[in-house]
Amino acid sequence: MNPDSAQTVAVINAEKAAQTPIFHQVEGMAQQVAGVGPGNRPSTRGGLARHGKFYVDGLDTTDITDGSITAPMNFDAVENFEIITGGFDAQYNSMGMITNAVTKNGGNQFKVDTSVTVSPNFMFGQNNFPATQPGFYGNYVDNPNPAPNHLFFSPIFNMGGPIVKDKLWFYASYQQNFNDAQNPISIYGLRSKRPVDTTTSLGRVKLTWQATEKDRLTLGFNLDRNVINNAFGDSSVTDDAESKIHRGGEFVLLNYDHNFSDSVLFTLQTGVTYKQVNQDPIHDDFTTPAHFDIGGGVGDRNSDRISSIFHGNYLHETKYRIQFDPMLSWKMKGLGTHQFKAGVQYSWLIDRQATGEAGNQNFTDSGGLCKAPADPSLPADPSTFQYCFKRTQFQGNQGGSLVTRATASDIGLFIQDRWNVNRQLTIIPGFRIDAGILYGDPYANTDGSQNAPKFTNLAGIGPRLSATYDLFGDRRTLIVANYGRNNDLGNVFIAQHGNPALTEYSGTWSTSGKAFPDCQSNPALPTCTVVGGPGGRSTPYHSLTSPMKPPHVDELLFGVHHEVVPETAIGVDFDYRRYGNMWEDIEVNRIWDASGTKIIGYQDPNNVGRSVVVSTTANEAYRKYASMDLWVQGTPGRWDLLASYTLAYNWGTVSDYFDGYLLNPRMTQFYEGWVPDDRRHTLKGSIAYRTLFGLDLGARVQYRTGSPMWEHSSNPADTNQSIYHSPRGTGVPFSSLTGAQDFNDPTQWTELRNPDQFNIDLQARYNLGGALKMKEQKLDVVLLVVNVLSSAAAQTLTDTVKSKNNAFGDATGFGHFAPIQGELLIRYRN
């Protein structure tokens, strides 16, 4: 327990991490902490996944567009993980959690830490059932299909020591991952095994220089390379429609500390991060148009769209961050003692994207492959015209490709006092101001100007007030309380969203003319619609003197923490958060009919057929979160405990930025309800026990109730939108008498949830060094078993209703738990 801070923090040191049965990924460690959701990019305490931040040695290295890690690092190069989930000090500005990986330094003795991890095929449970089969078939026994193969191999080497004793030290690490996998595939009754191969390279070097007794300098360099072939990896695409991802990143961090005196410390943390992600069709085919069959739900001929945001099938993205964070800390006395800190945090974020669609067009079919004259890659076949439904043509600023650049400039100033009023009471007031400017690409200018447009200015204040009270003055029982506001601004993802998207001209098949209309040449034709392009979306400009209100979260936190035995504490924390003014697109041109399924007109006669949206931080776009965490953390005797139970409620109108909330006014009324991250009960525990004879045993237990589903179907007026007939998190049952749904009866609205999740992972570690009498050396043999129950339960179910090939309620792609998997690790340390 820390009587000087109200932050909710869990510290996982290197030894605890090594004892925990978890895959060795630094970005996954936070899953063990109360209030943190599942996955390597989790939602935390009701926030969006993109709100998370990842620090290395105290400096922000977060991916500048999605909140993930910029460049992963070797797990064994980290000394400890500091995971902060709430009650933030003023130096932090985060609407989600912060993971700070404190990396290892070299010392005056040479140290080697090397290991090999291997998972041969026989240590993988074999899931033979393709993901498109119904959930009740998703078991792992008595399957006549041939089993897929899987092999994982990872050598790791770490070394640290002196370059100049007592002055200059180094620590270096390298890791190589080879993952050769296959996934079972079933398309149109044909079954196969598709390889999904990945390779990863991770390298890191850190230098530490103690220049004088008062000056210390550290310089770190990190490198990451990753290749994924067949990235979709499921039955939603054929082999020819697969995708591949090549990505990598580097960052350079420089930390400087100078002690002016015992009471005054100056620190400078600065660095540059770089990340590149290229996603392309698996065969590098940029001419063959892709086809997607809405009847079978299968993409064919070429790669499908990247995501719901990027509608092209290739994307090349480059990201840069320049960070500069000086801070001054000092101590004073007066009515108690004071520990002040104040600083400036500046970041310059740059994002460049090149995207497009192979052949500059794609086709949406219905029930089979449409071989229309408009597709030059296929001979026209009138017998297939019955399958023709829609053609979409793409145009950018470089022919069919779109190349845009976006930047964001963000500055924050903060000051905080840690005021120890007396031995029992500590008050921590703080305040920060943040301002950001979003810049776009010249292509966003509708007047032909070549200047980078300034989309808008955002600014927000972040008052903080925390207090801790040592109830009995013995440092064993603490009452903690906190109020704070954090803001999201200077977000380059938003700046890039302000740029024009690819212009998409969509036209439906003419059964009489037996052809698709050429909507690119004549977008005013009756069956044509246009989205994207210059003028397709905009952000209202706000000056710095009257800035746009940024997305923000207000948090109220109260907790009671008690040390039950030395080095072990239990606690209860109550947390309430309101996330307001989230980013949304507001459609301002289309006129919808009463059902919201037909466009009957347009506001602007000069933009007939076009969707026009305004991107803004809408007052009605919000999320709320209320929770109670019961937790225990510590090392009583030979045990190591980190466990928690969370009761949580997470509701609102927004599932993510730009999620479609305000695109169709007929659907807006249904968007309020349980958001996708709402899980009512969560129980998690990481428990380890050290025996007297060199054997350590570890267990990790996770139980989560199911997340909400939301029944919907595709909107025929715009297939990028959905039709809803009930509030978020619900659906309407089919009548057992009529086989139909009664959408007009609100009493029929039924809460829908994915299945509960329960998983157990186990690990055994034995130190052979003791048996071999290796003094001051360890030779560990580790067996990790994930999903020891080999649960075949579905994790996610389909909430989309279709008129043909309806799979509502079936397990989605990769919707089952992965079957049992084992890893064998041999690790040497001196």
pLDDT in tens, 180-220: 998 888 887 777 889 999 999 999 999 999 999 999 999 99
| High-pLDDT (> 90) share of the chain, % | 77
Q: What is the pLDDT of residue 2?
A: 87
Output the average pLDDT for the chain.
Answer: 92
Backbone φ and ψ of 443, nearest 5°: -65, -20
| CATH class as words, domain 8-357+400-501+536-829 | mainly beta
Split at pLDDT 50, 70, 90, the class of 306 is confident
Average pLDDT, stretch 794-809?
76
**The pLDDT of residue 14:** 92
Single out the residue of 673, 531, 540 nearest to residue 599, CA to CA: 531
- Residue 126: pLDDT band (50, 70, 90) is confident
Q: Is the pLDDT of residue 138 over 60?
A: no
Q: Are 301 and 359 in contact (CB under 8 A)?
A: no
What mean pLDDT is predicted for residues 327-333?
97
**Length of the chain as a residue count:** 830
Residue 140, pLDDT > 60, answer no
pLDDT band at 128 (very low <50, low <70, confident <90, very high): low
Q: Do the Cβ atoms of 417 and 333 come closer than 8 Å?
A: no
Q: For 38-91, how does the pLDDT look when each residue is reduced to its tens digit (9 = 90+)?
A: 988 899 999 999 999 999 999 999 999 988 888 889 999 999 999 999 999 999
586, β-bridge pairs: 614, 662
DSSP string, 91-128: T---SS-EEEEEE----SS-EEEEEEEEE-GGGB----
What is the SS3 assignment for 135?
helix
Residue range 490-522, pLDDT digits in tens: 789 999 999 999 999 999 999 999 999 999 999
* Backbone region of residue 609 per phi and psi (left: phi > 0; alpha: psi in -120 to 50; beta: other values): left
Element (H, E) at 161: strand 150-164
Tell me what the mean pLDDT of segment 817-830 comes to.
90
Domain definitions of the chain by residue range: 8-357+400-501+536-829
Residue 34: the pLDDT is 95
The alpha carbon torsion through 23, 27, 28, 29 (nearest 10 deg) reads 100
User: Which residues in 621-748 belong to E strands, given as ranges?
Assistant: 623-634, 639-652, 673-674, 681-690, 695-704, 713-714, 722-723, 730-731
Say if residue 542 is exposed, middle or buried (CB neighbours under 10 Å; 0-12, 13-18, 19+).
Answer: middle
Predicted pLDDT at 141: 46
Q: State residue 185's pLDDT score.
A: 84
Contact 794, 762 (CB under 8 A): no
Please give the pLDDT value at position 703: 96
Q: pLDDT confidence of 812, banded at 50, 70, 90?
A: low
Beta bridge partners of 639: 689
> Quick check: helix, strand or coil at residue 823?
strand
Q: 599-619 pLDDT, tens per residue?
A: 999 999 988 889 999 999 999
Segment 733-759, tens digit of pLDDT: 888 888 788 888 999 999 999 999 999
- C-alpha 172/C-alpha 221 separation (Å) is 10
Longest dimension (CA), the chain: 89
Q: Which sign does the torsion angle of CA 19, 41, 794, 631 carry?
A: positive
Helix (H, G, I), strand (E, B) or coil at 589: coil
Q: What was the pLDDT predicted at 804?
A: 66
CA distance 649 to 652: 10
pLDDT value at 622 more than 70 = yes
Residues in CB range of 322: below 8 A, 6 or more apart: 272, 347, 348, 349
Give Rg (Cα) of the chain: 28
CA distance 804 to 797: 18
Q: Which of the residue ranges 6-15, 129-138, 753-762, 781-790 would you say has the lowest mean pLDDT?
A: 129-138
Task: Determine the pLDDT at residue 137.
Answer: 43
CA distance 331 to 259: 12
**Residue type (1 letter), 637:** G
Question: For 426-452, how does the pLDDT look when each residue is reduced to its tens digit (9 = 90+)?
Answer: 999 999 999 999 999 998 887 778 888
Q: pLDDT-based confidence at 221, cuts 50/70/90?
A: very high
Does residue 145 carry a pLDDT above 70?
no
Q: Is the model's pLDDT at 239 over the cut of 80?
A: yes
pLDDT, tens digit, 9 for 90 and up, residues 563-581? 999 999 999 999 999 999 9
